[in-house]
Amino acid sequence: MSYMVEKGDTISKVTDLMKVSWAELKRVNPHAVGRSSRTGNWFLKQGAIVTGKDSFETILEQTQKPAVENSVVKKAAGEPPPEKTSQKDTQELREYTIKRGDTLWALAVKKFHVNVNDLIEANGIEDPKRLQPGTKIRVPIPSYPEEQTLVASWYGEPYHNRPMANGATYNMYENTVAHRDLPFGTEMELENPNTGQKAKAVVTDRGPFIEGRDLDISYGLAQKLSLVKDGVAPLVMRIIP
């Protein structure tokens, strides 16, 4: 779960919302916390995005261990476990054989562009750090509309050079976007239906966290799509296979 700290938010409110202790929240989100030099009191930085204990950092730590010999993925008789019900309306299941050096994170984010948790759940993996080369896993590829119109906004200077939800540093001039659930690495074409301007982008972050908005685009994309002045406007999104 992710949350953008708003003006007036207290530590107690956010820890209750995220269902984590203050110590855990600080550990996972060092970029989002500060301490007053005058009073010594801790505070959360307005506009910072905080994540819980099942956040990117935790998943990354668990899934970056490469596949090695004598490690195991829990399964019966060498076959993948029964398929679990997907959260998506429709999906395609692909089979993949684990190779030496594979990590779940790299497979999910870089190869198949799916969420790591979906890959873990679809295969009943109890310990993501232990993969056995030669094991066959099912990869649930979610199906999204090829084209849809979304309400988009943009974000820039306050977030420039800050970490994104995928762990990389945000560059407000690159063609990147934030989406609530599209897998990191998903490529898309965006079009401003009012001007006909088009630009390609990739999902690298999570958001927006304001009701009524579906997509946050970088300042650079907002310039290319003439969205800077309006701030919020509809865009046509087309997923690139």
Which residues, 6+ apart, have CB-to-CB distance to 110 below 8 Å? Answer: 185
Per-residue pLDDT tens listing for the chain (241 residues): 667 788 778 888 888 777 778 888 887 877 888 877 666 678 888 877 877 655 444 445 555 556 654 444 433 334 444 443 334 445 678 889 999 888 888 887 777 777 777 888 888 888 877 788 998 998 887 667 778 999 999 999 999 999 998 889 999 999 999 998 788 888 999 999 999 999 999 999 988 888 889 999 999 999 999 999 999 999 999 998 7
What pLDDT does residue 67 have? Answer: 64
What pLDDT does residue 72 have? Answer: 41
| CA pair distance 187, 176, nearest whole angstrom | 9
Q: Are residues 38 and 83 in the same domain?
A: no
| CA pair distance 156, 159, nearest whole angstrom | 6
Domain residue limits at 43 = 2-53
Residue pair 73/135 in contact by the 8 Å Cβ criterion = yes
β-pairing verdict for 198-205 and 176-178: parallel
Residue pair 152/217 in contact by the 8 Å Cβ criterion = yes
β-pairing verdict for 147-155 and 215-218: parallel
Per-residue pLDDT tens over the stretch 121-141: 888 888 877 788 998 998 887
What pLDDT does residue 88 have? Answer: 43
Cis peptide before 163 (omega within 30 of 0): no
| CA pair distance 25, 2, nearest whole angstrom | 11
What pLDDT does residue 160 have? Answer: 94
Q: Are residues 131 and 169 in the same domain?
A: no
Which helix (DSSP H) or strand (DSSP E) does residue 238 occupy? strand 232-239
In which residue are the tokens 């010999």 written?
69
Q: What is the CATH number of the domain that holds 213?
A: 2.40.40.10
Q: Are residues 136 and 153 in the same domain?
A: no
Q: What is the CATH number of the domain that holds 31?
A: 3.10.350.10
| CA pair distance 122, 112, nearest whole angstrom | 14
Could you give the number of structural domains in the chain?
3
Cα-based torsion angle of the residue sequence 81, 84, 86, 90 in order, rounded to the nearest 10 degrees? 70
Domain ends where: 85, 118, 142?
Answer: 142
Q: Report the amino acid identity of residue 83.
A: E
